[in-house]
Amino acid sequence: MIKQNENWFETWFDSSYYHLLYKDRDEKEAELFISNLLTYLNPSKNDLLLDVACGKGRHAIYMNKLGYQVEAFDLSENSIIAAKKFENKQLKFYVNDIRNPFKLNYYDYAFNLFTSFGYFVDDKDNQQAINAISKSLKMGGKFVLDFMNSKMVIDSLLPSEHKKIEHIDFFIKKKIVDYFIVKEITFNDLGKDFKFTEQVKTIFYTDFLTYFDAANLKIEAVFGDYNLNPFDENTSERLILIATKTTNI
């Protein structure tokens, strides 16, 4: 049973090593995805956008560059400190837990992107997070969730990986434990050994249907990649859900 390191994300996401390991994430791909999403959603420049679990804010920053009013939050204080360097009158960053509603009935659109979900051991926390996002939306507001395609990830899981980034050798072991994909990340820096854990629940489309239904979110579209092609559980890289808030919860 997964019980240890239940709050692993509080330390790992706030660590400089996390940002080093993932520093080469594809910015052009992220910008293409946001551009495709906003073309599909067609928000007005007066609409209010919320980026949930924003990290250092790359998606929020790009939305703002396209002319939109964006607010964003993350649990990691260090990430928000970094993101705040990009703040302006139409772009603000805050520290907040995804399980806590942020400004009730306030936003026209909410985004949770790049598998920034599914970290909790207790499934009630996952439902609480979806409920909180729904509560932050205005009636008729739209929620976009971008998650991994769990079936594809399970089918293609590599048990081990080595990445050398700058002066550090990261050794990554992956396994499936109690419906979680668990990464054990070990490395040595300046003579000191480190070990961190990532664990993401293998959540499937039918699971999200249950979460969304309980939060009064009606799914209107399902895509399978950042070009917004149709979702196929056997071949799609991503599971991207777009839902509309129907009533208050």
pLDDT for the residue numbered 14 = 82
- Indicate the pLDDT class of residue 1, thresholds 50, 70 and 90: very low
CATH number of domain containing 67:
3.40.50.150
CB 92 within 8 A of CB 62: no
Residue 78, pLDDT > 70, answer yes
Strands 238-245 and 160-165, sheet pairing: unpaired
What is the torsional sign of CA 3, 204, 26, 174?
positive
Of 41, 86, 44, the closest CA to residue 62 belongs to 86
Please report where in the chains the tokens 């560059």 appear, as a residue: 65
- Are residues 210 and 221 in contact, defined by beta-carbon separation less than 8 angstroms? no
Q: Is residue 238 part of a domain?
A: yes
Residue 161 domain-assigned (yes or no): no
In a domain, 14, yes or no: no
Give the pLDDT score at 9. 83
pLDDT per position as a tens digit, 120-153 = 999 999 999 999 999 999 999 999 999 999 999 9
The pLDDT of residue 2 is: 47
Its domain, for residue 140, covers 27-152+204-245
- Answer yes or no: is 166 within a domain: no
Residue 30 is predicted with a pLDDT of 87
Distance between alpha carbon 232 and the CA centroid of its chain, in Å?
20
Q: Is residue 167 part of a domain?
A: no
pLDDT in tens, 223-248: 999 999 999 999 999 999 999 999 99
Kindly state the helix (H) or strand (E) to which residue 121 belongs, with its residue range.
none
Spatial CB neighbours of 63, under 8 Å, sequence gap ≥ 6: 34, 38, 49, 51, 70
Q: Binning pLDDT at 50, 70 and 90, where does residue 66 land?
A: very high
pLDDT at 3 over 60: no
What would the pLDDT profile of 87-96 be if each residue is shown by its tens digit? 999 999 999 9
* Average pLDDT of the chain, as a whole number: 94
Tokens, residue 231: 């979702």
Q: How many domains does the chain have?
A: 1
- pLDDT at position 46, please? 97
Cβ neighbors of 155 (< 8 A, separation 6 or more) are: none
Query: pLDDT of 146-176, one tens digit each?
Result: 999 999 999 999 999 999 999 999 999 999 9
| pLDDT at 108 exceeding the cut of 80 | yes
**Residue 13: strand, helix, or coil:** coil
Residue 25 confidence class, pLDDT cut points 50, 70, 90:
low
Residue 103 inside a domain? The answer is yes
The DSSP code sequence of 44-85 is -TTSEEEEES-TT-HHHHHHHHTT-EEEEEES-HHHHHHHGG
Domain for residue 73, yes or no? Answer: yes
User: Is a pLDDT exceeding 80 seen at residue 23?
Assistant: no
Q: Which of 245, 226, 39 is nearest to 142 (CA)?
A: 245
User: Is the pTM higher than 0.85?
Assistant: yes
The reply to whether 179 falls in a domain is: no
Residue 80 pLDDT > 90: yes
Q: What is the mean pLDDT of residues 84-89?
A: 98
